[in-house]
Amino acid sequence: MKPYQQVPIVECGEALIAIPLTQFAVEQPHPYVRVAAPYGDKSPYSLRQGVLDRLLKAQDLLQNEHPNWRIQIFDAYRPLAVQHYMVNYAFAQSLAAKNLNPDELTEIQRQEILEQVYQFWAIPSYDPTTPPPHSTGAAVDVTLVDARGNAVEMGSPIDEMSPRSYPNYFVDASEPVTQLFHQNRQLLKQVMVMAGFRQHPREWWHFSFGDQVWAWLINEDDPTAQQLARYGAIEFLHQN
């Protein structure tokens, strides 16, 4: 169990709604749809209403500072089946990168790779008390595009399973280009946090509002806060 999963959830019942994609930059097809993730009739470009409201606010804050720049949404809602699929996909990708045969893995090797995967991917838990953040409709993976529609350089791609993904990896950078990576990450964090989000401590692209990670980070900053999560997994929404 990860520390944030100990935060209780008091589901508010807020609906999952479609993101107005014309107001943001997006990839089409969606990156996980491209690798055959099983969304069924669900759209990955969906969020809880309160989360979407804050994402729109973050976009406004960005454009106040950089006119015509946009937030690019990489991923948002992720059904539990998709979370399970993508964990397995990340595991397979890690094996391929290491030139390992899945049928010849030792148990130690398997556990080492799983530990690496679970540093960046939430366990696909079907327990209503420990939902993956994206399965709540309260987490969103984002980056930035400039006024010309070009991707703003962040120093590592989304979903890279390495320390380069840590938000402050380039904080002490000495080269101008790597200093720029840190500045761009700080800009993204600034507008998202000002809108009410909290940033995942290991992923520069991952922000959430209202889920267990969000509440846990608030409580870490202020132990007297006793903040609860307000969004659980969408699959269990109508059971509360």
Q: Give the Cα separation of 193 and 208 in Å (integer).
A: 9
Is-contact 140 47, C-beta < 8 A?
yes
Residue in 11, 115, 175, 203 annotated catalytic? 203
Catalytic annotation on 203? yes
Is-contact 198 230, C-beta < 8 A?
no
- Position 238 scores a pLDDT of 64
Alpha helices in the chain (DSSP H): 31-34, 49-65, 80-97, 107-120, 176-194, 212-221
Is-contact 21 52, C-beta < 8 A?
no
- Position 13 scores a pLDDT of 96
Number of domains in the chain: 1
- Position 237 scores a pLDDT of 85
Domain, as residue range, for 194? 3-239
Token pair for residue 172? 């002490």
Global confidence as pTM: 0.95
Give per-residue pLDDT as tens, 183-223: 999 999 999 999 999 999 999 999 999 999 999 999 999 99
Q: Give the Cα separation of 57 and 104 in Å (integer).
A: 50
CATH code of 9's domain: 3.30.1380.10
Q: 3-state class of 234 per DSSP?
A: helix
- Position 239 scores a pLDDT of 58
Is-contact 207 76, C-beta < 8 A?
no
- Position 1 scores a pLDDT of 82
Q: Give the Cα separation of 175 and 152 in Å (integer).
A: 17
- Position 240 scores a pLDDT of 45
Residues of the chain short of pLDDT 50, as ranges, are 240
